[in-house]
Amino acid sequence: MIISKVEFLVRSDLDQQTLDVWLAEEWLMPRLAADEPQFSEADLARAQLIHELKRDLGVNDEGVGVILGLLDQVHGLRRALADVLRTSRAHPASDDEADRS
């Protein structure tokens, strides 16, 4: 579902300037369209997370970028791991010695 910029600003409790900064920092990376960025529910949840990191957890701006980067790696790992588990459950033979490194 696409959320317009106006709706996004309201629901994420942001002002235009702050949003511009977050976009420049690439903390948020919505799709681009002809007139303006198009936000998703995932972008909204990510904005909420950024608020909470700064407001509730006391993370400074530099820290936010580092945390989001590591968090994205964690989610990448989780997906890869889920994939591996799914595949090895479907094909038990691959439980054989796989580590040759």
Partner 1 sequence: MADPYETLGVERTASQEEIRKAYRRLAKKLHPDLNPGNAAAEARFKEASSAYSLLSDAEKRRRFDAGEIDESGAEQQRQRYYRDYAGAGAGADDAYANPSGFADFAETDDILAELFRRQAEQARRAPGADLYFRLAIDFLDAVNGATRRLTLPQGGSIDVTIPPGVQDGQILRLRGKGAPSRGEGKPGDALVEISIRPHRHFTRDGDDIHLELPISLKEAVLGARVRVPTPSGSVVLTIPKGSNNGSVLRLKGKGARRRAGGQGDEFIRLKVVLPSGPEPELESFLAGWTPQRDDDPRRDMQP
Chain residues binding partner 1 by CB under 8 A are 2, 29-35, 38, 40-42, 45-46, 48-49, 52, 56-58, 68-69, 71-80, 82-84, 87-88, 94, 98, 100-101
Closest CA to 31 of 68, 2, 51: 2
User: How many CA atoms are closer than 13 Å to the CA of 20, on its beta-carbon side?
Assistant: 3
Whichever of 10 and 57 has its CB closer to partner 1, that residue is 57
Q: Which of 73, 92, 72, 90 minimizes the C-alpha distance to 29?
A: 72
- The answer to whether 37 touches 9, Cβ cutoff 8 Å, is no
In the complex with partner 1, which residue's Cβ is closer, 18 or 59? 59
Q: How far is the CB of 26 from partner 1 (least distance, A)?
A: 9
Least distance in angstroms from the C-beta of 61 to partner 1: 17
